[in-house]
Amino acid sequence: MSVFDGGPIKLEQGPIPLHYQVYQHIRDALDRGALRPGDRLPGERELCAFYDCSLITVRRALGELTRDRRLVRMQGRGTYVTEAPVERNLQLLGSFTQEMRAAGLVPSTRLLTARQEQATGVIAAALRLEAGATTIYLERLRLANDEPLLLEEVHLPAARFPGLLEEDLEQGSLYSLLAARYDTRLDFAEETIEPVALGQREADLLNQRRGRPALLIELTAFDQQSRPVEHCRSVVRGDRARYRVAAHGARAELDLR
Q: What is the pLDDT of residues 38-94, one digit of tens each?
A: 899 999 999 999 999 999 999 999 999 988 888 888 888 899 988 776 666 665 666
Determine the residue type at 159: A
Q: What pLDDT is attached to residue 142?
A: 93
What Å distances lie between residue 223 and 64, 96, 190, CA to CA? 41, 18, 12
- The CATH code that applies to domain 86-244 is 3.40.1410.10
Cα–Cα distance for residue pair 60/62, rounded to 1 Å: 6
Q: In the chain, how long is the greatest CA-to-CA distance?
A: 73
Please indicate whether residue 6 or residue 257 has the higher confidence score (pLDDT). Answer: 6
Tens of pLDDT, residues 169-201: 998 889 999 999 999 999 999 989 899 999 999
Reduced to 3 states (helix: H, G, I; strand: E, B; else coil), residue 132 is: coil
pTM, two decimal places? 0.69
Strands (E), 133-245: 134-144, 147-157, 186-197, 213-223, 228-237, 241-244
Please name which of 88, 83, 215, 205 lies closest in space to residue 148, comparing C-alpha atoms. Answer: 205
Ranges in the chain annotated CATH 3.40.1410.10:
86-244
Proportion of the chain above pLDDT 90, given as a percent: 59
What residues does CATH 1.10.10.10 cover in the chain? 18-81
CATH (residue range 18-81): 1.10.10.10
- Comparing CA positions, the residue from 175, 205, 103, 114 lying closest to residue 145 is 103
Q: How far apart are CA 7 and CA 102, in angstroms?
A: 36
Instruction: Convert 61-106 into a string of H (helix), E (strand) and C (coil).
Output: HHHHHHHCCCEEEECCCEEEECCCCEEEECCCCCCHHHHHHHCCCC
